[in-house]
Amino acid sequence: FIFQRPYLRSTSIQCYLCLLLNSHFLTEAGIHVFIWSCISASVPKTEANWQDVISDLKKFENLIQSIHIDATLYTESDAHPNCKVTAMKCFLLELHVIWQESNNMDIREVIENLIILTNSSLSSNGNITESGCKECEELEEKNVKEFLRSFVNIVQMFIGTS
């Protein structure tokens, strides 16, 4: 089955490699990383729609209205257009933090979908190296609502250039 699709041929190798690497880390987190690695490796390299990312960000915002998330996250609030890929990668790292710290399955599901959609949308720009951009740890820490507002602004930068 896998070998009938040329774009999935390297997927099995990636999954086996990931399994080998994670065999020493067979914790719950290691298993999640393995599963998501396999899923992301097998997803065809098609461009997702940034509007879908915006839609999921709104779902996430609605979910957190009823749940108090007491977290401060590194947030790029005034990214230069030449640093949008770097900023997006920071937002994705911070989404992972929320996912790890949340016990709410609805929030985790939306975050997982956001990560997959964003990575898919970012795939054509993901290998770009931007210089002169702030590293994640250099960014100001802000609450979740500010984080989401800034995340939407970065996504809109991608929409404006696509």
Is 41 a residue whose pLDDT tops 60?
A: no
Q: Which CATH number fits domain 50-160: 3.40.190.290, 1.20.1250.70, 2.40.110.10, 3.30.360.10?
A: 1.20.1250.70
- Mean pLDDT across the chain: 77
pLDDT over 90 percentage in the chain: 42
Taking the C-alpha atoms of residue 40 and residue 1, their distance in angstroms, rounded to an integer, is 17
* pLDDT (average), residues 39-58: 70
pLDDT tens for each residue of 1-23: 333 333 333 445 555 555 555 55
Q: What pLDDT is stored for residue 105 in this prediction?
A: 92
Per-residue confidence band for 134, with pLDDT thresholds at 50, 70 and 90 = very high
Taking the C-alpha atoms of residue 142 and residue 72, their distance in angstroms, rounded to an integer, is 5
Query: Which tokens sit at 78?
Result: 């005034």
